[in-house]
Chains A and B, each alone.
Chain A
Amino acid sequence: MIPFFPLVFPLACIVFLLAFKKYMPNTPKFLAFAGTTLSLVAVFTVQGTESLKIFQDGVLPTPFALAIAVFIAFFATLAALAALRETKSPSFYFNILLSTAFALGAVLSNNFIMMLLFWEGLLISLYLFILPINAKTALKAFLINAAGDVVLLVGICLFYLQNGTLDFTFFAKTNTLLTSSGLWAFILMFTGAVAKAGAFPFHNWIEPAAMQMPASFTAMLPAAIEKLLAVFLMGKMFLIFFPILPATAKVFVCALGIITIAVAAINMLVFKDIKQLLAWNIVMQIGLLVLGMGVHIFDHLLHDTLFVLNHGIFKAALLACAFFTAGAFKLYFGSTDIEELKGTARHAPLMTFVLFICALGLSGLSFVDIFFMPSALVADTYAAMPILIIIPALAAFITMFTFAKVFFALLVKKSRAKAEGSHIYNTVVFLSFLPVLFFTFGFEFSLEPFLAPHFAGINLSWVSIFNILVLLLALALAVKVKLPSYKIKHNTYTITIEAITVFTKWLYKIDRFMDKLIDTWPSAIVKKISLFFSRAHRGNTPQYLLWAILGLLIFAALVSDWGIK
């Protein structure tokens, strides 16, 4: 069970927490931090135990999986640290450990059943996380994620049907394109995978959760871990299936991405709060990821893997870091509302700077990414269908626009009381910034030969210039144009709930009708007949004789076969 070795620590810590939480009030915090850090260490050691040859079915997690696992554990650790300042409730720490354990389990499994087990198990920890803060949001988050998981489950079953195995080592070998059940397996599994990260139509819970929960939660779960998991499974799907994916599948994926981006964009423009903005950024980013997957030309296993990794991890890191920053603002200034944060830049310059870099990354500034991913995305999109280039452009534009508004607010000259900082929290922000730095400026390191094949055939220059132009335009407009103020009344969740309500109302009516059919009506009919007979026998002797004579006649008729035959 070596691949599951990193799980031991969080799970052991959970046991200790449950056993000892009464005795030492600070135990949960300590245990959470210990559990997550140890799991991080453990992930690194998994690779090294190959020589021991005691792993599950002889299959080690792939480096791909391990990389994701590393980051999962990393962000969990950061969240545990951040939570030290943000909350006192032991259940929060319990949930951090539980989520870490399940997320690691999902990534380190070597077959789909185990993965699904851990994947769905996250539902419990997600629910328990949000429950103490807001029961309704917890329910919403649970239901939406569970729906996505059901889709994933059905997809996995179809996958089994198609391929006869549930092992991760499976790779599509045939050259015939996927049809019917195999195609459905792909589509359902893909949808289920990105549902976790907040793609349409599974996105409605992220905003309320982000607003109501402490930043460490949001940084850890929706921003980082769930996105990482989604990336993991998305990547897996593509890597397994790419050779045989028909065009319909790719069209589906692109469509999903585009709708997600659109929804995120619409909601982003009416933000009032940094956390709200960042929440919709989560959705926007998964939309971009999905679109990127859809248009990318998968032709070389290694760099495709790196491509996926980068997309996922970089964006996850950016979002996590941004959330931690927002959390810092909340901690120091008491709120994350734009109005209330006016003029705080001068009191928290480092935070503002970090947020600025994150904003650039999220907006997709070309060189703020080791692989020039945004450019690659734009280029690929253009290559796929030229008109589609509007989508990433628009996404970048809106992101930049909204972030610019934030910064203008933060930079406003306004005197404020100085705020108390926190060393631990600052450390957390700094640590989360490290991956961002790496991915941003890492191109300085000589990875060129490595990357060269990737960029063969792409003319980066016009794409980069186009990119910078879009961003500058956004920046400029942000100075003058005000944020729109339309109200969003309906969202997917409420519409679904209403539809279900109507649907169930009608089905319930059918059930009650059937009850009438089986019970009420027959009883009533029998009762009427019975009462009729009762009244026909009320002691009227001639009537009795009449019945007898009638009987005789019928008998005679029957005996003579009605006189016909």
Chain B
Amino acid sequence: MFDITGLMIFTVLFPFVGALLIPILKHFKLDSGKVALFTAAGTFVSAFLLCYYVSFGLFPVYRIPMPLGMDFHLLGDAMSAFMAAAASFLSFIIMYYSQGYIKESAYKAEFYFAAMLFLGAMMGLVFSANLAWIFVFWEITALCSWRLVGYFRADSDIAKANKTFLITVFGALFLFLALVAIANSNGTIDLTELRGATIPFYATLFIILAAFSKSAIFPFSSWLPDAGVAPSPVTALLHAAVLVKIGVFAFAKIFTFIILDITAAELVMYVAAISSLIAGAAALKETNIKRVIAYSTISQLGFIFFAIAIGGGLGTTAAFLFILMHGVAKGGLFLCAGIIEHKTHTKDITKMGGLAKVMPITALAFGFCALSVMGIPPFGGFFSKFMVFLAAAGEAPTMAIVLFAFAALLTLAYLTRLFHIVFIASPKQNFTKSKHEAPHQMMISVSVLAILSLLLGLFVQWPLGYLSTMFGGAL
């Protein structure tokens, strides 16, 4: 029997170690990309194993007492293990994609360093059971995202990276305030000690605002489309698969322990609904491929918030299933966008067209991922969307359900529009078909994610079964 606690600590620590090794090994002429890939792989393996053990009901705990109640407390419950496995898997795939995308440059090592630091912070955040440490890791991810978004170093890129950093830090400070407020009103900031407690309404509001800013819900969403200037693996990692899920995850985890006020839950539902609609509308209007996909992310994140606010076994199951399906599919979309950008050297869809002939594999992968996001069976996204609506029926206000139904319709509209304009419509310029659509690492990663979207749908009983058992949301 493994030492599960050791496994959990390893999952958190290994990426940090990897990150620190990158500059050191660079002096020994070891490629930073390979080091990062190895690190991500190792993290995924251990996170997956942890998930497996957790399914037997074994929850590891690790605690270092620290002054003022800010203990470094790691708790591996079902939510954390699942999120860790999903996030590390996506990181691994995206690191593999980066091997083909990131060319040799002065900043390559910094890229991988920041990516691994980010992964470590993500793992730390996911397992933390103390609000102070959640905040610490939250800010570390913001720091990493700043460096990663500004990777290309153009002045406008830096401006956008700064905007991302500032808006997410602004939101995170609400979490800081919540922490201070809860310490003051409840005497502790450890989640396990706060189990079943109620916190002042303003503290709940602060946590919600922090979650909204990190997970890009209107009105704190405008940083996400702007962050599309980042390299595609960064956008996929941060803004589709992992970083934007932090707000949602923290919201879910914190309110598993603390009681969520009904008014706050309804507030979240409505704001998320409005956000989904507005983002969907914006996606329909934009002509920059990455902005469209970014708005799509904002829209889908609204669904996840909706599911968590509904709560209960079914709601939580739906939310986490959605996190998984969305991460895979949206990551795939962004990576495809990267391949398209690589080929056409533009992000403007009005200059594209007819790419299905020139890059058939990418078109197919994009189609698979898009269908999953739209929620068309037999892809995985269908089950997650269906579960969300199923959980919502009866638990959520009807208006919210109607709004989300419209958001789902908008999703159909903008994704098909995107697919059509980019791949099907008559080309605005001529693209020549080359032997390789893109470096093989990029093609393989994209194909893996696309096929996974389909497989997760066909074999949905595995993730769904795991989640239902863990959260008690059986049908």
Which residues of A are in contact with B by a Cβ distance under 8 Å?
Answer: 113, 116-118, 120-121, 123-124, 131, 135, 139, 142-143, 146-147, 150-151, 153-154, 157-158, 160-161, 166, 181, 500-501, 503-508, 510-511, 514-515, 517-519
Contact = CB atoms under 8 A, between A and B. Distances in A.
Interface in B244-296: 277-282, 284-285
Given A157-B390, A508-B281, A514-B218, A121 B376 contact: yes
B425 interface: yes
B420 A511 contact: no
Given A121-B376, A161-B394, A139 B285 contact: no
A212 to B, nearest CB: 15
B30 interface: no
Nearest to B457: A117
The dominant DSSP class at the B interface is helix
B281 A503 contact: yes
Contacts of A514: 218-219, 221-222
Chain A to chain B: the 6 pairs with minimum beta-carbon distance, closest first: A507-B281, A504-B281, A515-B222, A161-B393, A157-B393, A161-B394
Nearest to A113: B386
27 contacts: A116-B386, A121-B377, A139-B420, A142-B412, A143-B412, A143-B413, A143-B416, A146-B409, A147-B409, A153-B385, A154-B401, A157-B389, A157-B393, A181-B393, A500-B410, A504-B281, A504-B284, A505-B285, A506-B281, A507-B280, A508-B284, A510-B278, A511-B222, A514-B219, A517-B219, A518-B219, A518-B220
Contact of B218 (A117, A157, A161, A511): A511
B163 interface: yes
A398 to B, nearest CB: 33
Nearest to B222: A515
A505 B286 CA distance: 10
Contact of A160 (B218, B390, B401, B416): B390
Contacts of A510: 278
Contacts of B385: 153
B389 A154 contact: yes
Contacts of B282: 504, 507-508, 511
Nearest to B392: A157
B378 interface: yes
B306 interface: no
B281 A150 contact: no
A511 B281 contact: yes
Nearest to A128: B367
Contacts of A501: 284
Interface in B406-431: 408-410, 412-413, 416, 420, 424-425
A518 B222 CA distance: 8
Contacts of A151: 405
Nearest to B377: A117
Contacts of B374: 146
A160 B386 CA distance: 12
B409 A150 contact: yes
B377 A150 contact: no
A123 B409 CA distance: 14
A518 B389 CA distance: 32
Contacts of B378: 117, 121
B470 interface: no
B473 to A, nearest CB: 13
Contacts of B389: 153-154, 157
A230 to B, nearest CB: 18
Contacts, number: 102
Contacts of B425: 135
B320 interface: no
A295 to B, nearest CB: 30
B125 interface: no
The dominant DSSP class at the A interface is helix
B222 A135 contact: no
Contacts of B97: none
Interface string B59-99: 00000000000000000000000000000000000000000
A422 B460 CA distance: 47
Contacts of A507: 277-278, 280-282
A135 B401 CA distance: 32
A295 B444 CA distance: 58
Contact of A519 (B167, B401, B405): B167
B408 A150 contact: yes
A375 to B, nearest CB: 40
A483 B373 CA distance: 47
B382 interface: yes
Contacts of A503: 281
A515 B160 CA distance: 13
A181 B408 CA distance: 20
B301 interface: no
Nearest to A520: B222
A154 B218 CA distance: 25
B382 A511 contact: no
Most central of A123, A142, A518 by chain B CB within 10 Å: A518
Given A120-B382, A124-B376, A147 B222 contact: no
B371 interface: yes
B443 to A, nearest CB: 19
Given A153-B385, A157-B389, A500-B410, 11 more contacts: A135-B424, A142-B416, A143-B412, A146-B409, A153-B389, A154-B405, A161-B394, A181-B393, A511-B222, A517-B219, A519-B163
A210 to B, nearest CB: 21
Given A117-B377, A507-B281, A146 B390 contact: no
B327 to A, nearest CB: 22
Given A120-B382, A131-B424, A500-B413, A146 B376 contact: yes
B386 A124 contact: no
Interface string B375-399: 0111000100110011011100000
Contacts of A181: 393-394
Contact of B393 (A158, A500, A505): A158
A99 B93 CA distance: 34
A117 B382 contact: yes
Interface string B357-381: 0000000000000010010111000
Interface string B39-72: 0000000000000000000000000000000000
A150 B408 CA distance: 8
Contacts of A113: 386
Nearest to A151: B405
Most central of B218, B280, B393 by chain A CB within 10 Å: B393
Contacts of A135: 420, 424-425
A518 B166 CA distance: 11
A426 B332 CA distance: 48
Contacts of B167: 518-519
Nearest to A504: B281
A123 B376 CA distance: 8
A192 B377 CA distance: 16
Contacts of A142: 412, 416
Nearest to B385: A153
A74 B65 CA distance: 72
Most central of A147, A150, A503 by chain B CB within 10 Å: A150
Contacts of B401: 154
B287 to A, nearest CB: 12
A135 B363 CA distance: 15
B146 to A, nearest CB: 16
A118 B222 contact: no
Given A120-B376, A121-B376, A147-B409, A153 B386 contact: yes
